[in-house]
Amino acid sequence: MTDIQDTDQFTGAGWPWRSGNRFHLLADNEQFFERMLQSIEAARAYVLLEMYLVESGIITGRFAEALGRAARRGVRVCVVFDAFGSLRLAASYRRSLVAAGVDLRTFNPIRLRARLHNFLRDHRKLLLVDGVTAFVGGAGLTDEFAIAARPGQPWRDLMVEISGPVVADWQRAFARTWRRTGGVPDFPQPPSTIDIEDGADGRVALSEARERSVLANGVVRRIDAARTRAWIMSAYFVPSRRFRKALRVAARRGVDVRLLVPGPMTDHPWVRHAARRYYGKMLRNGVKIFEYQPRMLHAKMIVCDDWVSIGSSNLDRWSFKWNLEANQEIRNAAFAAVAVEVFEADCSKSEALSRRNWPQRAWLDRQQERIAGLLDRMLDRWRRPRVP
């Protein structure tokens, strides 16, 4: 077992641990959307929003109206939507935002001549208000996250509300993306923040051009160092060989290793098939695997002992190779206890896979896993272009 010392090797390539923060885990979709909208309505200086999946609909309409009202009352509103993730956002929404005074920019517009460069996507979900409040997680602005109109909805997701010194780091992270879209980060600097008494330690964890392996490496090191538990909740879990080995080794030394992954309700069934081809070996080594049943699982959370990471990363090779990702790391026993409670509640709504029964799964399932695995390996061989 590796003993982690949170010094230079664990600083996240320039993102240090900050003490004195307050983190609130928002485990209900309606709750986190309401808190985000309330924060926008209360903004006095600036609102910064970075979002991957954005589609026309009721929830996006509510955010567009709140952002427009903020801009009209003199608040600086800067918004980045990913070009691919916002393909289904009607032009009328964009026009209304710009007309209200919102500075709206698009990350990596899709161009035929760009070829593989089109795969580089901004998958982050980040909202900052006045330099004092931030929201980080996995939810997008689509009605799948907000309206239970069909079976399996709304999608299961998590966000974390943040206050304290680490918010300034999130603003610096947003500024980097803003520059890539051609924007000038002329929004005010975050106000000086006093450490919250008895607050928690927190750190920004990013995956991007020069740091694409930092987030992945950090999680693997946490698994290697885990003493009691290493729990992973992921919507699209297709791990690398190194990642799979870390989970198996941890389970064999007695750590409670759990994977909470999507069940039959998923928007990407072939990703699920690609992941399932690894389950047999992990089950034989003592890894517990739960497939979430009630609805689409889209949340991303890792709990290793008293360390928690929540954000946009699915911990799959595609994310680390092609996407800009953002996670909030938290080191605090009280917050970890809340995360464990949420995780266990979701496990109780899941099907626990059986090591004994796994080899007897349907022939069709195994064929789909083989095909999905072949496609995954082909995609993994593509060389990743450099992010400008």
pLDDT grade, residue 10 (50/70/90)? Answer: very low
Positions of CATH 3.30.870.10 in the chain: 9-180, 201-381
Per-residue pLDDT reduced to its tens digit, 283-326: 999 999 999 999 999 999 999 999 999 999 987 776 777 789 99
298 neighbors 311 (Cβ within 8 angstroms):
no
Average pLDDT over residues 155-180: 96
**Of 103, 169, 300, 346, which one is the catalytic site residue?**
300
Residue 130 bears catalytic tag:
yes
Average pLDDT over residues 336-364: 89
Higher per-residue pLDDT: 315 or 192: 315
For 328, the token pair is: 């909030």
Q: Which of 229-233, 242-246, 269-273, 351-355 is the most confident on average?
A: 229-233
Q: Answer left, alpha or beta for residue 64, where phi above 0 means left and psi between -120 and 50 means alpha.
A: alpha
Evaluate if residue 207 carries a pLDDT over 70. Answer: yes
Write the CATH number of the domain with boundaries 9-180: 3.30.870.10
**Of 82, 157, 201, 298, which one is the catalytic site residue?**
298
Evaluate if residue 5 carries a pLDDT over 50. Answer: no
**Of 82, 103, 122, 123, which one is the catalytic site residue?**
123
pLDDT grade, residue 357 (50/70/90)? Answer: confident
Instruction: Identify the H or E element spanning 48.
Output: strand 46-51
Average pLDDT over residues 333-345: 98
Residue 123 bears catalytic tag:
yes
Question: What is the SS3 assignment for 105?
Answer: strand
- Please state, as a whole number, how many other Cβ atoms lie within 10 Å of the Cβ of residue 134: 28
- In this prediction, residue 363 carries a pLDDT of 63
Instruction: Identify the H or E element spanning 81.
Output: strand 76-82
How far out from the chain centre does Cα 286 lie?
26
Residue 267 bears catalytic tag:
no
Query: How many angstroms separate the Cα of 156 from the Cα of each of 24, 116, 309?
Result: 17, 31, 17
Average pLDDT over residues 244-256: 96
Measured distance CA(134)–CA(124) in Å, rounded:
13
pLDDT grade, residue 197 (50/70/90)? Answer: confident
**Of 82, 103, 122, 125, which one is the catalytic site residue?**
125
> For the residues of 146-198, what is the DSSP string, one character each?
T---STT-SPB--EEEEESTHHHHHHHHHHHHHHHTT----SPPPPP-PPPTT
- In this prediction, residue 152 carries a pLDDT of 63
Write the CATH number of the domain with boundaries 201-381: 3.30.870.10
Residue 245 bears catalytic tag:
no
Burial class (CB within 10 angstroms; exposed 0-12, middle 13-18, buried 19+) of 186 = exposed
**Of 82, 122, 130, 346, which one is the catalytic site residue?**
130
Evaluate if residue 19 carries a pLDDT over 70. Answer: yes
- In this prediction, residue 13 carries a pLDDT of 53
Per-residue pLDDT reduced to its tens digit, 71-115: 999 999 999 999 999 999 999 999 999 999 999 999 999 888 877
Query: In 85-132, which ranges are E strands?
Result: 103-107, 121-122, 125-129
Indicate the pTM of the whole model: 0.91
pLDDT grade, residue 8 (50/70/90)? Answer: very low
- In this prediction, residue 322 carries a pLDDT of 78
